[in-house]
Amino acid sequence: MSKLKKLSRNEEKIKRAFKKKNWNEIKTSDSWKIFKIMSEFVEGFEKLARIGPCVSIFGSARTLPQTKYYILAEEIAFKLTQQGYGVITGGGPGIMEAANLGAKRGKGRSVGINIDLPYEQDPNLFIDSDKLITFDHFFVRKVMFMKYAQGFIVLPGGFGTFDELFEALTLIQTEKIGKFPIILIGKEYWKGLIDWVKNVMLTEEENISLEDLELFTIVDTADEAVKHIDTFYSKYLLSPNF
């Protein structure tokens, strides 16, 4: 999408937000939107409730094949399937494609929760045909990531990856979901963020508690990530996250 076209779309959205509407317009527009949102939840619940124990893998859509983290994501997903876990991704390219490829190679469950965007993204080719869902709303999609995963593995990514990471951290911190494992991959990549969390968020501003640092683990290898998941679940009977 050209920069000019993108700017024009953005201006249109801003203008629509400030446009005055009468009650009938508001009621009609919002009421129909509720039905659309409900239909996305119903489809997601019906498909994902049957998938069994899975781990959500997050990461950048921009990561290229044969790069370090693409290869690592594929390896992690493959090793997870060998331990009986399925893999849930955002369904797109990059890290998501690598994780679905690894799950497919391991003959495990390969789930794709895609999002319909104006300039990206097409679902990757390694998602099981009966386990691909495409959503219009990010918040519905995030519910599916959280509700049906028994762990979260986060590789380097951008704003979307950070959104998913902090959603999981917040839900666990506030006890809205169980204390499922959150594993960050790549100590060097996450170092700056974690230093800021410790030095500023925790020490200077006291916006979190010391025990909140125990909500996540940082590792560098696929074996470490899978071992952490297995160690955690050796104490529990696996079941969907609801």
Q: In the beta sheet, which residues pair with residue 218?
A: 184
Domain of 81?
A: 22-233
Rounded average pLDDT over 36-53: 91
To 10 degrees, what angle do helices 159-173 and 138-147 make? 50
Q: Which of 26-40, 98-112, 117-131 has the highest mean pLDDT?
A: 98-112
Rounded average pLDDT over 89-114: 97
How do residues 77-101 score in pLDDT, each as one tens digit?
A: 999 999 999 999 999 999 999 999 9
CATH code of the domain containing 220? 3.40.50.450
The two three-digit tokens of residue 16, written as one number: 């629509």
pLDDT number for residue 240:
46
16 located within any domain:
no
217 located within any domain:
yes
Query: Order of strands across the sheet with 110-115?
Result: 132-135, 110-115, 86-89, 54-58, 152-154, 182-185, 217-219
Does the pLDDT value for residue 202 go beyond 90? yes
Contact (Cβ atoms closer than 8 angstroms) between residue 156 and residue 63: yes
Q: How confident is the model at residue 117 (pLDDT cuts 50, 70, 90)?
A: confident
CA dihedral 43, 241, 55, 161 (to 10 degrees): 70
DSSP string of 23-87, one letter each residue: HHHHHHHHHHHHHHHHHHHHHHHHHHTTS-SEEEEE--TTPPTTSHHHHHHHHHHHHHHHTT-EE
58 located within any domain:
yes
11 located within any domain:
no
Quote the CA–CA distance of 75 and 98 in Å, as a whole number.
8
Quote the CA–CA distance of 5 and 156 in Å, as a whole number.
29
Quote the CA–CA distance of 103 and 131 in Å, as a whole number.
12
As for how many domains the chain has, the answer is 1
The two three-digit tokens of residue 119, written as one number: 């300039």
Rounded average pLDDT over 169-185: 94
129 located within any domain:
yes
105 located within any domain:
yes
187 located within any domain:
yes
Does the pLDDT value for residue 11 go beyond 90? no
Task: Report the candidate in 170, 121, 108 with the shortest Cα–Cα distance to residue 145.
Answer: 170
Which of 33-42, 115-124, 134-143, 163-172 is predicted with the least confidence, judged by mean pLDDT? Answer: 115-124
7 located within any domain:
no
